Chains A and B, each alone.
Chain A
Amino acid sequence: MREKPKASAVPRLRQNRKPLAVSSIAKNAFLAVWCAGALYPFLWVVLSSFREGPDIKMRPFALPTSLLLDGYVFAWIRGHLGIAFINSLIISAAAVTAILVVSSMAAYVLARVRKSILLYTFFTMGIMVPLHTILIPTFVFIKSLNLLNTRAGAIIMYTATGLSLSLFILVGFMKSIPTEIEESASIDGCSRSRTFLSIILPLSRAGIATVGTLTFLNVWNEYLFAFILLTTIPKKTIQLGIYSLQGSYGTNFGPLCAALTISILPVVAVFIAFQRQVIAGMTAGAVKG
């Protein structure tokens, strides 16, 4: 037996995505508190970056009284963060390019030309390997190739370690492209490489964007491998730059907050611009498990 529901309990079917947007004070309060807890630490860092160290320590929750840029100037020049920022840009851009070229080529073969389960498993196995396992051998290899303290060494390492996940995402993506277009191209006498360049690549744009953003974030944020591969100031990445800034100038919160803001800004920009790709990429590896 079912009573006629009261008017307020009737689900309002707006979009089929969320049929029953119930609004309750508790729910909104919980979400608001959580969002504040996720956002405020970053806000604190940005606000503090415009203040002087001693002032932050005396009154940590006060707002900046003026737009003091000393921390930024100090971090960028004396802390060598300017060089580090440019190094990180170069290394990330090169690693993204290399990964996209190498993995899209391999993915095309594995998804379309020669569907070898064995090779596919071989390549994607790397997702399961904790990268610490190869830290010491990587150091030894890069050293024996005379690539310690070169951007090239770091770029090779980031490309190799990012391949598994990129291949996994791109093979999955290319498999979902309908085969008809390719078949007619092949009947028209289109070669494999021509098909790859003018049909598969343009149709894989979304997958490529996912791999590209994910690789950028991973490389920009990576610390441990950079720490052992790049030790001189002219070669350091942004993460190493912050690390040595803090090491040489102790607990001076002002420049540290400025440095953190500088390092986080590009990441937030990329995240907001490519939100769908970032979330797809970060959860893709998870689904593989």
Chain B
Amino acid sequence: MTKRARIDLSFSLGFLTPAFLLFASFMVVPVLVSGYYSLTRWNGASAPVFVGLQNYVRIFHSDEYVVSLLNNLRLILAALLFQTTVAMVIAYLLFRTDRGFDVMRTIVFLPVVVAPLAIGFMFQMFFNSDLGPINYLLRRIGLGVFALRWLGDKHVAIYSCIFAQTWQYVGLFVVIFLAGLKGIPVEIFESANIEGASSFQTFLRIAVPLIIEYLSICVILAVTGCLKAFDQAWIMTKGGPGFASSYLAILMYKKAFIAGEFGFASAITMTILVLSLAFTYIYKKYIARDTVDY
């Protein structure tokens, strides 16, 4: 080893050590520990008792788990159906706008940077069935029959939560699609225009197919993001009534820090981890197209 290489090695070790120690002890080890906890029965105080896969068996027989998982899937579906399509349309319209582009992009992205907890509180007020502005408006314009108990009705609550979260993150997908649109060579749009393609045709036949890889990014973000959903619904309904609007993360929190079932709660978090990694892996390997040819 030359002197230079030796110096580089000790330099590298010195510069990497803080990051390595922090990351290993507060990210990697906790993930492994969480895996271990999921195989135990543990109330957080006494020593954990190893029970094998019992918690996972319990998960499959748990109504709360199934309802929560279904709610996560509903949220994912809403994100895929509404968030991506609306974002794609807005991105395209913004892309073809000169005047006010910067201002509008700022406004569209604004909800994304606000704390999900604040969004939760805002919609908790808006959806308040007696005192909230939404029902006030519905009653004033004679649509009082639609003034539902947005957060108190077990059939409606989850959709109110889904609405709040979907509304918040449209802007994120808009800027991702905008990045995609800016990468398309301008000549393609020009020739489409000269050929007499309508705005709508250009959108459908040119813009959408050419930003399909950005759609992949949004799909992965939507799925992994929705599996982590917590804040908005926690504030708006606490997962209630009952567990009608609960997500996996809410169920996990309640099981761990309210019921004191840390083992069972850890098993729930492991399913979130596995679902999200498995989806990303399968999607990237089998579904997503990597490149686009112009």
User: Taking beta carbons and an 8 Å cutoff, which residues of A are in contact with B?
Assistant: 2, 5, 9, 11, 13-22, 24, 27-28, 30-31, 34-35, 37-39, 41-42, 44-45, 56-57, 60-61, 101-103, 105-106, 108-110, 113-114, 119, 123, 126, 128-138, 140-141, 156-157, 159-161, 163-164, 167, 192-193, 196, 217, 220-221, 223-224, 228, 239, 242-243, 246, 251, 253, 256-257, 260, 263-264, 267-268, 270-272, 275, 278-279, 282-283, 286-287, 289
Residues on B with beta carbons closer than 8 Å to the beta carbon of A15: 98
CB distance from A280 to the nearest CB of B (A): 10
Residues on A with beta carbons closer than 8 Å to the beta carbon of B118: 221, 239, 242, 260, 263-264
Q: Within B8-50, which residues are at the interface with A (CB < 8 Å)?
A: 8-9, 11-12, 15-16, 18-20, 22-23, 25-27, 29-31, 33-34, 37
Residues on A with beta carbons closer than 8 Å to the beta carbon of B228: 130-132
Check if A114 sits within 8 Å of B8, measured CB to CB.
yes
Q: How far is the CA of A126 from the CA of B26 in the complex (A)?
A: 11
Check if B23 sits within 8 Å of A136, measured CB to CB.
no
Q: Ordered nearest first, which 7 A-B pairs have the shortest CB separation?
A: A160-B26, A137-B30, A221-B115, A106-B19, A60-B133, A134-B30, A57-B131
Residues on B with beta carbons closer than 8 Å to the beta carbon of A131: 228
Is B7 interfacial (CB 8 A cutoff)?
Answer: yes
Chain B interface, DSSP helix/strand/loop, else mixed: helix
Check if B23 sits within 8 Å of A160, measured CB to CB.
yes
Residues on B with beta carbons closer than 8 Å to the beta carbon of A17: 182, 186
User: Can you spell out 20 A-B residue pairs with CB atoms less than 8 angstroms apart?
Assistant: A11-B190, A15-B98, A19-B193, A27-B199, A37-B167, A38-B108, A57-B131, A103-B19, A106-B19, A130-B227, A130-B272, A133-B273, A134-B26, A136-B262, A137-B30, A140-B33, A163-B23, A164-B23, A253-B125, A282-B112
Check if B33 sits within 8 Å of A137, measured CB to CB.
yes
Is B82 interfacial (CB 8 A cutoff)?
Answer: no
Binds A, one of B59-67, B154-162, B263-271: B263-271
CB distance from A203 to the nearest CB of B (A): 17
Q: How far is the CA of A279 from the CA of B173 in the complex (A)?
A: 11
Q: How far is the CA of A110 from the CA of B37 in the complex (A)?
A: 33
Pick the residue among B16, B95, B114 that contacts A221 (CB under 8 A).
B114
Check if B108 sits within 8 Å of A41, measured CB to CB.
no
Check if A134 sits within 8 Å of B27, measured CB to CB.
yes
Pick the residue among A35, A57, A228 that contacts B108 (CB under 8 A).
A35
Chain A interface, DSSP helix/strand/loop, else mixed: helix
Binds A, one of B73-81, B142-150, B249-257: B249-257
Q: Within B136-190, which residues are at the interface with A (CB < 8 Å)?
A: 136-137, 167, 170-172, 175-176, 179, 182, 186, 189-190
Check if B280 sits within 8 Å of A128, measured CB to CB.
yes
Check if A264 sits within 8 Å of B115, measured CB to CB.
yes
Task: Select from chain B the residue with minimum beta-carbon distance to A32.
Answer: B104
